Amino acid sequence: MVAPLNLHEDRLFSSDPTQRAIARRLYAEVRHLPIISPHGHTNPQWFADNIPFSDPAKLFITPDHYIYRMLYSQGIALESLGIPRIDGGAVETDSRTIWRLFARHWYLFRGTPSQIWFHHVLYEVFGIRETLTEESADRIYDEIAERLRSPEYLPRSLFERFNIEVLSTTETPLDPLAHHKKLRASGWKGRIVPTYRPDSVVDPEFEGFAGNIRQLGEITGEDTSRWPGYLAALAERRRFFASLGATATDHGHSSAATFDLPSSECEALLKKALAGEMTAGEAERFRGQMLTEMARMSIEDGLVMQLHPGSYRNHNRDVFRGFGRDTGADIPMRTDYVHDLKPLLDRFGNDPRLSIILFTLDETAYSRELAPLAGHYPVLKLGPAWWFYDSPEGMRYYRERVTETAGFYNTVGFNDDTRAFPSIPARHDVARRMDCAFLARLAAEHRLEEEDAREIAVDLAYRLAKKAYRL
Ligand SMILES: [Zn+2]
């Protein structure tokens, strides 16, 4: 028995007929626009080597902590989903077994954005026309596996079919960017650029910090045990990233704290950090100083800064010990922006050369802190609803809370932040639909001319991301 899979044409639009009719018209203007994906975590090697994705489980489940965090929450062991253990201990390796386990528990994702994205991918990307159940699991697995073996499903072919104009990946400054070099040399037209993410070399509490700084010194030939050499090394890696197309940096600190300390204190903090003798407060000062240093470097080299604070990383101690970071155990925290960003803003907040994009996992900060900050400081813009709020309700709430203070033009369009490459069109489609739905409401309430709404819809879907990320 086959239960059909359907994507409704009006999904995510208001059920009010007036609003729905406007939303349809707006969406028709943006649905086929090229995708700008200025922040994400896809693997550049996929496109550099252009070899087939191996199988449905390795495509959809093992790389995607959105998926397995939910399964884990319902008592499914990460080992049984094929998530590699740090100690090399046994985990499930049979992809079909992993897929069946996923299918048996697919109902857990009802009402979540993962379900919307996954249905979109099944339907639009793989042409699947039945819902995923325990009974259909093998059929769907075989259909997807067969498609993955055909040339139309190679990474570069999908990139072209998805109409991606530019895609950013995320790398540490220690990364030699070999895949990006290979991509550039290949002559392929697809535009994929790196993003400079220095957490591992600016956060003294990051695993292996001292070794990372040593390595940074080896790569750059700078004396990274001293403050001036350390800064010079970071600046040099930024230039290297920019030479391969990077236009942005990304900073995943736990708070938005910034500091502007005298260099004697910076030198002393670096020494302590390398010796592993820091208190939590000193580590916070060091990270906060590094944001200010990164802002200074951005003014020099033009890279746009992204701040992604507010995640308590690796909250589950046992999962962190067993499986490492990025395993679905990151939990949002209350985040202060008004006090924490002030030292940086005092120094650079009015410099027209600087651009900082703020994200949050603390929704209470939208109207109280973030929209007023971005609605005033020329250097600040607001990133889209992010991570747990990259969802229909998250997007709606975001527009409702920030638009009246920051407008549309202190926001930067959408970014998908995804690890799951085939879901990129699905995620952008949700964002485009939700923005059209929001604009349709304003138009239906005669707060916005439909003509203006049409222009804004195109800006939100395409132009603003390009402009904000200097792509
Ligand atoms: Zn990210």
Q: How far apart are CA 238 and CA 195, in angstroms?
A: 9
Q: How far is the CA of 264 from the centre of ligand 1 (A)?
A: 33
Q: How far is the CA of 399 from the centre of ligand 1 (A)?
A: 20
Q: Is 156 left (phi over 0), alpha (psi -120 to 50) or beta?
A: alpha
- What's the predicted TM-score (pTM) here? 0.96
Q: How far apart are the first and last CA of the chain?
A: 49
pLDDT at 205: 94
Residues with a beta carbon under 5 angstroms from ion ligand 1: 417
Q: How far is the CA of 256 from the centre of ligand 1 (A)?
A: 16
Average pLDDT, the chain: 97
The secondary structure of residue 3, as a DSSP letter, is P
Q: How far is the CA of 5 from the centre of ligand 1 (A)?
A: 30
pLDDT at 347: 98
Where in 373-453 does DSSP place strands (E)? Answer: 380-382
Give the relative orientation of helices 392-406 and 424-444 as an angle to the nearest 10 degrees.
50
Q: Where are the alpha helices (DSSP H) in 276-423?
A: 280-301, 317-323, 342-348, 365, 371-374, 392-406
Q: How far is the CA of 417 from the centre of ligand 1 (A)?
A: 5
What strands, in cross-sheet order, belong to the sheet with 35-37? 35-37, 164-168, 192-193
Q: How far is the CA of 438 from the centre of ligand 1 (A)?
A: 25
% of the chain with per-residue pLDDT over 90: 96
- Confidence bin at 2 (pLDDT 50/70/90): confident
Q: How far is the CA of 85 from the centre of ligand 1 (A)?
A: 23
Q: How far apart are CA 234 and CA 294, in angstroms?
A: 9
Q: How far is the CA of 155 from the centre of ligand 1 (A)?
A: 20
Q: How far is the CA of 193 from the centre of ligand 1 (A)?
A: 14
Structural contact between residues 233 and 290, judged by C-beta atoms closer than 8 angstroms: no
- Mean pLDDT of all residues in 310-317: 93
For residue 401, is pLDDT > 70?
A: yes
Q: How far is the CA of 232 from the centre of ligand 1 (A)?
A: 26
% of the chain with per-residue pLDDT over 70: 100
- Mean pLDDT of all residues in 49-68: 92
Q: How far is the CA of 384 from the centre of ligand 1 (A)?
A: 12
- Mean pLDDT of all residues in 14-30: 98
pLDDT at 139: 97
Contacts of 281 (CB under 8 A, 6+ apart): none
Q: How far is the CA of 41 from the centre of ligand 1 (A)?
A: 6
What strands, in cross-sheet order, belong to the sheet with 380-382? 248-251, 304-307, 356-358, 380-382
Q: How far is the CA of 42 from the centre of ligand 1 (A)?
A: 10
Specify the pairing of strand 356-358 against strand 304-307: parallel
* pLDDT per position as a tens digit, 62-92: 888 889 899 999 999 999 999 999 999 999 9
Q: How far is the CA of 40 from the centre of ligand 1 (A)?
A: 5
- Confidence bin at 1 (pLDDT 50/70/90): low
Amino acid symbol at 84? P
Q: How far is the CA of 415 from the centre of ligand 1 (A)?
A: 9
- Mean pLDDT of all residues in 148-156: 97
- Mean pLDDT of all residues in 437-448: 98
pLDDT at 328: 85
- Confidence bin at 168 (pLDDT 50/70/90): very high
Q: Nearest 5°: phi and psi at 248? A: -150, 160
